Structure 1
Amino acid sequence: MKNNLLFATLLSYLFFPHVSAAQSKKSTVDPIARYDAYVQQAVRDWHVPGLTVTVVKGGKVLLKKGYGIRKLGHAEPVDTQTLFAMASTTKAMTAACIGMLVDEGKLHWDDPVVNYLPDFQLYDPVVTREIRVRDLLIHNTGVGNADVLWAAMQIPSDEILHRMRLIKPSYSLRSSFIYQNIMYLAAGKVIEKVSGTPWDVFVHTRIFEPLGMRRTKALFREVADESNRAKPHMEINDTVRAVNSRLEEGLVDAVGPAGSIWTCPDDVANWMICMLDSSRFNGKVLLKPATWAELFKPQTLVTDAQFYPTQQLTRPVWKTYGLGWFQHDYRGHRVNFHTGSLTGMVAIHGQLPDQKLAVYVQGNLDHAELRHALMYRAFDEFGGFDTRLGLSNDWSADFLKLYGGLKQKGKAAEYKTDSMRVLNTKPSLPLAAYVGLYTDPLYGKVEITLKEGKLYASINNLLTGYLNHWHFDTFRLTYDQFWNGKDPVIFSLDTKGKVAKLNSGGMELTKVPENAEKGMADR
């Protein structure tokens, strides 16, 4: 008995003072400095050229800093005035703008959209009549991804909405969830119709100005010539390269309410504080309390397939979508967040509302998923969690491994596809037979010509590239815009043995008869 007590006392003396000392040492380290060092290491590990991080808590800014450079090969550093794309984190602002009109009694969340946009029409007339304003904001309309309408063509926003009637539904109304940008364009049109003010002007006067967001711009064309602006980058064959995608960056203006805003840490900190504090900022109130609460009320369930791979490690019990916000549980707390992605640019805005804590990350490397790592690490660092109990404390390392594994799986899938190529085949017809104009009311046009002895494609006079023969009547399009990679293009013949259709990425276009080509090509 005495020996047991002596042994226990000795263990207590040897072990617990050691733990206490470690905890004491940790407590003396400034958490902001510790987090700052963590960010710096993550930027190096993920090879991100430039990044901004903003953290606010309890109405105060804890950290607001730029890391790295605006463009590879140039010395200009990222600072707290450097503009980055908000991308889809714009959606929360568009939802807030709708809320302002609700507060003014000019519309209601559950009003039919056709009450304000009489020409609004989806593939199914019944669904068209049933779509409510709320539905435009929560990705449950039954319409799948339709980004081809703005990312692969240059058409006005009204024409984008007009073509929505041609898209067949992917699921029945409100039965599932597929992320959808075009419906936010429709929400912006509702704002314009009800207020008499275009969305970009409305968001400027009703959000940017009251919050003192002086550098924030609603559209890319307003920042295109800005000197202190981050430039996009992509990793191509394991090498990070700057992307000259100015045209593609500008395409998002056609669906501005879904993701066209550009901002910087000095500005976005005010938006973060406002959204944590019942939409209040410096004595101003943007929304009524009930309307602000509605933005963060779970509106629909998010499927596993439509959520982020991070769920494999964070292991949320539930996943929902509010009005412009993804939501899930984390260490027993609710998280509101949203990512943003454009060609070569990323963002994430995350909240722990019960801790009055928010973090906003922007970067200039395509799908640099350290954004998730820095969000969760900020929650751990400043949320007061005991990170020894379950889940990770080094999200950067764990997500780097997770996404690295997904990247390898993607490469393996490519290798498998390549292995299925049938060698030593030829096209059914001479290359000249494939030349011509291919059109579709939804997808636009693809013009195939002969250039330097190869087929050459021009998609909606926007994307271009050579078609290299793969096998049979399948070719592989290598884009001149190298960041778009490669796509298979399959030609099909009619019963007379003539080229009739072109298929690529789920799009099918019909070859225009030669006698009608000239008129069509001029359109």
Structure 2
Amino acid sequence: MNGVLGALEDFNTYMEQQLNVWKVPGAAVAIIKDQEIILANGYGYRDKESGLKVTPNTLFAIASCTKAFTAMVAEQLADEGMLDLDAPIKNYMPHFKMYDSFATERITIRDMLCHRSGLPRHDAIWYNSKLTREEIIERLEYLEPNQDFRAKGQYQNIMYMVAGYLVGKLAGSSWEQRVQERIFAPLHMKSSCFSVDEMQLRDDYALAYIDKNGETQQIPFRNMDSIGPAGSINSNIIDMANWIMLHLNRGMLDGKQIVSEGRLDDMHTPHIPCEPSLWGKKELPLSCYGLGWCIEPYRGHQMLHHSGGIDGFTSLVSFLPHDNIGIVILTNKLASHLPKVVTYNIVDRLLGLKEIDWSGQIQKDQEKWEEQLNKQHDSNEPSINNIESNPPHPLIEYIGTYKHPGYGTMYVELEKEHLQFRYNSMTLPVTHIQGDLFETLYELPMKLKASFHADSNGNIHSLSLPLNMEVGAKETVFAKMFADR
């Protein structure tokens, strides 16, 4: 153990440096070796404005790291003979329906838990909406796939919500209650909770931050209750360390078997190829998705991990089963590379490998990516000479109520002589580009092109936006309501 602790001798200094490099307000780090927590520290600030520091007990949104909890409660139901992961969902939910009739009849919970539904994300239907889980499930039949069923791994939140919803239904309770009783309670995860609303009632929680206009700014929490099984858990490094030790100890904690070894192996087994954590790196040559976990060897050592990202938070939970190493990194900044950088550094240290400057490499890769993105954006922008000062229709002809059976209602309004969109309680500013092409600033922020379409008589009849940015996904078309013409 002295050798292990020696490898971490200057780790606290390293962490402070990386917080500055990546401009992250606060982070919490737990390191597990041989079923012992050898480090559990907070760094930086959970509340930058008030100078409140991160502690080992500080709660963070873990976002999609929640998915492994949903996979485990499904496996526990299978252990109890209450669920067959390979039986069609229709066996349990007869009214379940997807856009693709074949997928409707054949999709299983296993398909949902390893992201092979054929659907792109379709996240806009739940993001910032007030839809219930039942209402989202009812809209599935209107959400188009962009790949054949089971042909490709496509990261999905809605399918995970459906899987969690079904687990709760079969257990005669809810997904939250099942996770609380079968995972949180036996693992002594006393601080963990299922909603940011509940988290804010606690004494020690992190505020959410984002990079905006060159500054790190605090933003509101994003409530994920409707999509809960895909990403609503909030936790701290103490609780999450127990979660990782469960996986390292073959499903057992405190002498009690929480899930059978066979079912744990099922979660940890590659099911379908997925995108790598870092493109083109020889240290990470292969990436697959199991059930709730990515399986990705790092420098010849088996590693399982899952990241999480939601407004103001980025997390990464990892473990190396053959080396008995576990790492939890929780941060309060959206889309940060810090968890990845720090995780790889810790693994290098504990395995006695020559440390790779992942921070420098990822910074360079990020700069190249941003340069390419800017070039692509510039090439796609209309020439300044072609930009019209006014759209071809009076603005009043664009306003109205537009609907999509899956995505719901988009309101186009006139505000101070400019168009704006109202969707899922979000107000989105709109800028004219040329013709009937406009640009709107979506959340986080993200620029999206919005096109209005007219019939042969020149009447505006629909609005389309690329709400799914996955390759091959069609634009979402909202039809203008007849009464508004």
Give, in angstroms, the shift of residue 66 of structure 1: 0.8
Does the alignment pair 1:484 with 2:434? Answer: no
Letter in 2 for 1:494: D
Deviates more, 1:505-514 or 1:88-97: 505-514
Deviates more, 1:484-493 or 1:438-447: 484-493
Letter in 1 for 2:461: A
Determine if contact 1:88/1:340 at 8 Å carries over to the other structure: yes
Does the alignment pair 1:447 with 2:423? Answer: no
CA distance in 2, matches of 1:355, 1:326: 17
Give, in angstroms, the shift of residue 51 of structure 1: 0.7
Does the alignment pair 1:74 with 2:44? Answer: no
Q: Which structure has the larger Rg over C-alpha atoms?
A: 1
Letter in 1 for 2:240: V
Does the alignment pair 1:355 with 2:323? Answer: yes
Determine if contact 1:435/1:449 at 8 Å carries over to the other structure: yes
1:409 matched residue in structure 2: 372
Deviates more, 1:234-243 or 1:409-418: 409-418
Determine if contact 2:133/2:165 at 8 Å carries over to the other structure: no
CA distance in 1, matches of 2:227, 2:6: 43
Determine if contact 2:116/2:154 at 8 Å carries over to the other structure: yes
Determine if contact 2:388/2:433 at 8 Å carries over to the other structure: no
Letter in 1 for 2:296: H
Question: What per-residue deviation string (whole Å, max 9, x for no partner) do you get for residues 366-414 of structure 1?
Answer: 1101211111111111123x32xxxx62212222222232233223333
Determine if contact 2:27/2:331 at 8 Å carries over to the other structure: yes
2:420 matched residue in structure 1: 456
Question: What per-residue deviation string (whole Å, max 9, x for no partner) do you get for residues 209-228 of structure 1?
Answer: 11111110022332134342
Paired residues for 1:367-446 under 5 Å: 367-384=335-352, 386-387=353-354, 393-418=356-381, 420=383, 422-446=386-410
CA distance in 2, matches of 1:169, 1:476: 25
Question: Helix, strand or coil: the match of 1:414?
Answer: helix
Deviates more, 1:176-185 or 1:112-121: 112-121
2:461 matched residue in structure 1: 500
CA distance in 1, matches of 2:459, 2:481: 12
2:290 matched residue in structure 1: 322
2:480 matched residue in structure 1: 511
Equivalent pairs, count: 475
Determine if contact 1:123/1:165 at 8 Å carries over to the other structure: yes
Give, in angstroms, the shift of residue 444 of structure 1: 1.0
2:235 matched residue in structure 1: 263
CA distance in 1, matches of 2:72, 2:100: 29
Paired residues for 1:114-193 under 5 Å: 114-193=90-169
Give, in angstroms, the shift of residue 29 of structure 1: 8.3
Question: Helix, strand or coil: the match of 2:409?
Answer: strand
2:245 matched residue in structure 1: 273
Determine if contact 1:279/1:286 at 8 Å carries over to the other structure: yes
Question: What per-residue deviation string (whole Å, max 9, x for no partner) do you get for residues 249-297 of structure 1?
Answer: 11x2111111100001121111111111112112222111111111101
1:284 matched residue in structure 2: 256
CA distance in 1, matches of 2:4, 2:77: 49
Give, in angstroms, the shift of residue 241 of structure 1: 1.2
Q: Say which of 273, 280, 297 aligns to 1:301.
A: 273
Determine if contact 1:184/1:257 at 8 Å carries over to the other structure: yes
Does the alignment pair 1:221 with 2:219? Answer: no
Change (3 A) 1:367 1:84: same
CA distance in 2, matches of 1:415, 1:66: 42
Determine if contact 1:48/1:365 at 8 Å carries over to the other structure: yes
Give, in angstroms, the shift of residue 189 of structure 1: 1.7
Letter in 2 for 1:156: T
Letter in 1 for 2:369: L
Question: Helix, strand or coil: the match of 1:330?
Answer: coil
Question: What per-residue deviation string (whole Å, max 9, x for no partner) do you get for residues 38-92 of structure 1?
Answer: 2221111111001111110110001111111113322111111111011111111
Change (3 A) 1:356 1:33: same
Determine if contact 1:370/1:399 at 8 Å carries over to the other structure: no
Give, in angstroms, the shift of residue 202 of structure 1: 0.7
Give, in angstroms, the shift of residue 419 of structure 1: 5.1
CA distance in 1, matches of 2:162, 2:256: 28
CA RMSD of aligned residues (A): 2.0
Question: Helix, strand or coil: the match of 2:379?
Answer: helix
1:346 matched residue in structure 2: 314
**Identity over the aligned pairs, expressed in percent?**
28
Give, in angstroms, the shift of residue 27 of structure 1: 7.3
Give, in angstroms, the shift of residue 35 of structure 1: 2.5
Question: Helix, strand or coil: the match of 2:37?
Answer: strand
CA distance in 2, matches of 1:253, 1:359: 27
Q: What TM-score, normalized to structure 2?
A: 0.93
CA distance in 2, matches of 1:27, 1:194: 48
Gaps of 5+ in 2: 467-474
Determine if contact 1:64/1:265 at 8 Å carries over to the other structure: yes
User: Which structure shows the higher helix fraction?
Assistant: 1
Q: Say which of 231, 248, 256 aligns to 2:207.
A: 231
Question: What per-residue deviation string (whole Å, max 9, x for no partner) do you get for residues 307-345 of structure 1?
Answer: 33x132344332211111111222211111111010121
Determine if contact 1:32/1:62 at 8 Å carries over to the other structure: no
CA distance in 2, matches of 1:74, 1:407: 33
Question: Helix, strand or coil: the match of 1:333?
Answer: coil
Determine if contact 1:203/1:218 at 8 Å carries over to the other structure: no
Letter in 2 for 1:207: I
CA distance in 1, matches of 2:4, 2:114: 44
CA distance in 2, matches of 1:97, 1:83: 22
Determine if contact 1:144/1:179 at 8 Å carries over to the other structure: yes
Question: Helix, strand or coil: the match of 1:211?
Answer: coil
Question: What per-residue deviation string (whole Å, max 9, x for no partner) do you get for residues 7-43 of structure 1?
Answer: xxxxxxxxxxxxxxxxxxx979822222332222111
Q: Say which of 43, 46, 51 aligns to 2:22.
A: 46
Change (3 A) 1:28 1:221: closer
Letter in 1 for 2:481: V
Question: Helix, strand or coil: the match of 2:364?
Answer: helix
Does the alignment pair 1:240 with 2:213? Answer: no
Deviates more, 1:485-494 or 1:193-202: 485-494
Letter in 1 for 2:37: V
Change (3 A) 1:408 1:70: farther
